[in-house]
Amino acid sequence: MNSEKTIERLALIGVGLIGGSLVRSLKQAGVVKEVIGVARTRETLQKALNLGVIDRAEAEVEAAVDGADMVVVATPLQAMPPIMSRLDNCLGEHAVVTDVGSVKHYVVTTANLHLSRNFSRFVPGHPVAGRENAGVEASGPDLFRGRTVVLTPVEATDPAATETVATMWRNTGAAVRYLGAEAHDRILAATSHLPHIVAYALVDFLAQQPESDLLFELAAAGFYDFTRIASSDPVMWRDICLTNGDALCAVLEGYRANIDRLLDAVKSANGEALLTCFERSKLSRDTGLMNKTSAEQ
């Protein structure tokens, strides 16, 4: 990449919400010259071409990364191993590779195994942003503005490659933060993965009730706010659960214990216990949200 940090050619492997939003933002900022896309279906590639997200479509990974100085892997997690194996044999000498996966220990382990010759130029990343609608048609150039992107480089990662990826993300309007992969996975299990599972579980539970049509008809705005993320991509969230199992099980066990305490309080008509939980929750959310909003401004 040149001294101005302009990406001459970016290869986007997996053309969906996150990858599409990334390149739209980079194009808007004028810091990428050409984007080559590769996806599972021709339909997805045609949508991306029609939207101007990519400049050229390729059917194969090897053709997409030919001549690329930046490669972004934006596929579901369990699709990464074969992709990285193919990348290892066709990357240019100075190409930098990154990803957008939500489980970093799995990604780092996968890259170390399958991207062995180019592992030093792989920078694991995760933009902590998204929306419930999937697909490139849901992408937008402002998705990352004011959000945080976590990078989890390891000891073997080339610092210059890390700075290149960090600069790319800063050009989207995001703030970059560095964490270890295991710390990232533990934190995201609690703040992102658990809420999605809870939303999916609640909607699934209600959908299986005999009066499900009436339940959804009478659901208030709060229900739709709370369960919005249950409209997210099921394949992506299946892969997250399967690849971050240990951390997710730990927070699920803790959450289940808290639900059991609330159940006991309701059964015993323990209003004091309920009020203590609700007041503590309100204070924590109000304070945390206020601090987060201030930090983003």
* Residue spans per domain, the chain: 7-179, 183-296
- Residue 46: both structure tokens together: 């045609």
Chain segment 81-108, per-residue pLDDT in tens: 999 999 998 998 899 999 999 999 999 9
Q: In the prediction, which pLDDT does 291 show?
A: 63
CATH number for domain 7-179, candidates 3.40.50.720, 1.10.620.20, 1.10.10.520, 3.40.50.2020: 3.40.50.720
Q: In the prediction, which pLDDT does 1 show?
A: 40
Tell me if 7-179 shares its fold with 183-296: no
Chain segment 103-143, per-residue pLDDT in tens: 999 999 999 999 988 999 999 999 998 887 788 999 999 99
Q: How many Cβ atoms from other residues are within 10 Å of residue 266's Cβ?
A: 12
Chain segment 167-176, per-residue pLDDT in tens: 999 999 999 9
Question: 47: left (phi > 0), else alpha (psi -120 to 50), else beta?
Answer: alpha
Q: Is the pLDDT of residue 295 over 50?
A: no
**For the residues 220-246, what does the mean pLDDT come to?**
93
Q: In the prediction, which pLDDT does 292 show?
A: 61
Q: Is the pLDDT of residue 293 over 90?
A: no
| Total-model pTM | 0.88
Q: What are the angstrom distances between the C-alpha of 215 and each of 208, 211, 224, 231?
A: 11, 6, 12, 18
Q: Is the pLDDT of residue 153 over 80?
A: yes
* CATH superfamily placement of domain 183-296: 6-phosphogluconate dehydrogenase C-terminal like domain (1.10.3660.10)
**For the residues 218-233, what does the mean pLDDT come to?**
92
Report residue 102 CA to chain centroid gap.
Answer: 5
